[in-house]
Structure 1
């Protein structure tokens, strides 16, 4: 087995441990602490997005990142009817500042902010248990896919867009998510149907990953930024969470999750 497959494992592990520690603390605290982390991460992701799509707009990227974070910070504090235009506002503001990639920016920025809003609402309304479930599903999907893809290999999932992803890793992510769903179903009384929801969340997470890979392929960049050793940027690390959180926002209209611990 070639050691080159594992060259990035150590920096990925170190960065992952730090991110997990910060994330777990914020999730545990909830409230303002968790809101602040989500707002910061969302603003940075918008900054990375603008830098990828329109490298000539270095000043605009910072402005739009701040606008996005500020809009999200206000959105979670007001009724939903007023939160929605705040979530869409950064997309509208940025359209006029982008020389290229404006439509992609507008759509993806709306996804980032809606996903961030969904994460904060999930923690606020459903408690620690279901926030932990979502995070664990996404993390296990990613980790299972990483190791299965490198150990098993096999046919590529979509080589033109994401040459490293394999069908074995993709399927391993679904299996891992199913086990997470089963474990949470057993401890929360949510029922075995949670396994199916968890697999769907895993799929949404993988679609989020692929969507960001497509943007990078289109713009000719390897990583969204170099902020995180071994992981690239925040978009590279949280693209799966964006897909999963957006899915929960939509699926939450169809499936009721029991309330968890505060």
Structure 2
């Protein structure tokens, strides 16, 4: 007879997730702190792999084409990181267009996701260059807090689903916990930076953008009938699975830059 207690099986993957997450965090934090070419190349690598995973979800029977497109992404972004940013749109459209032309189905899907992934990866590099490691760490901490607290609270509390047709595991309890934890991160940064109080609600908005990135990738996986984008990371699936929230947050920051003309980030 069930007593309504949380299912212990819900936590079966926790150890693997924690170990893999810690390893990724160590690499990421080191690259962010060092900056320069080290962070740039990490961003290029991760972005290229995510485009490869995108292709493999759509056309897994043609892996060579996916690898070539990933190499194209790496070449384009490597050049953009040291060249005139005004050429951003022209060169970033190459891989999405080529992939969409080669595909017989899901052309719009590939085009939009490939372009979004590249823009997000480029945005993170520019954010690091223009504002330094502290504020990039803030952005990442908001995403991590959203993911971690959403995961634990969602699994422990459960309750009504946030968007069951797209992401059946997400609950309103976990979603709200993500917003609250992000706001707390923003409030903590008030204590040792010169940021205004707006950082609190901006953090919550970043949290929502992060969740929308996660949901967008969940919708893509359901559409492609796959569980994970790949099996590269034990307990996490692929890089796309792990960084979908960060992609959403990065795109949100770029959108904000378009609206308010943030120096160095607007394009």
Equivalence map 1:181-260=2 (5 Å): 181-255=186-260
The TM-score, its normalising length taken from structure 2, stands at: 0.94
2:175 is matched with which residue? 170
The answer to whether the 8 Å contact 1:190/1:258 transfers is no
Match of 2:184 among 179, 183, 192: 179
Match of 1:98 among 103, 108, 112: 103
Q: Give the distance between the partners of 2:90 and 2:191, measured in 1 at CA.
A: 39
The answer to whether the 8 Å contact 1:57/1:98 transfers is no
2:85 paired with 1:80: yes
- Gaps of at least 5 residues in structure 1 are none
2:3 is matched with which residue? none
2:59 is matched with which residue? 54
1:63 is matched with which residue? 68
How far the C-alpha of 1:258 sits from its partner, in A, is 9.8
1:157 is matched with which residue? 162
Match of 1:36 among 20, 32, 41: 41
Q: Give the distance between the partners of 2:260 and 2:195, measured in 1 at CA.
A: 11
2:107 paired with 1:139: no
Q: Give the distance between the partners of 1:175 and 1:258, measured in 2 at CA.
A: 29
1:26 is matched with which residue? 31
The answer to whether the 8 Å contact 1:147/1:169 transfers is yes
- Deviation string 1:223-257 (CA, Å, 9 cap, x unpaired) is 00000000000000000000000001111234587
Secondary structure, in 3 states, of the residue corresponding to 1:165?
strand
- Gaps of at least 5 residues in structure 2 are 1-5
The TM-score, its normalising length taken from structure 1, stands at: 0.96
Q: Give the distance between the partners of 1:196 and 1:21, measured in 2 at CA.
A: 28
Q: Give the distance between the partners of 1:142 and 1:209, measured in 2 at CA.
A: 9
How far the C-alpha of 1:92 sits from its partner, in A, is 1.3
Shifted more, 35-44 versus 68-77: the winner is 68-77
Give RMSD over aligned pairs: 1.4
Match of 1:89 among 89, 94, 118: 94
Q: Give the distance between the partners of 2:38 and 2:222, measured in 1 at CA.
A: 35
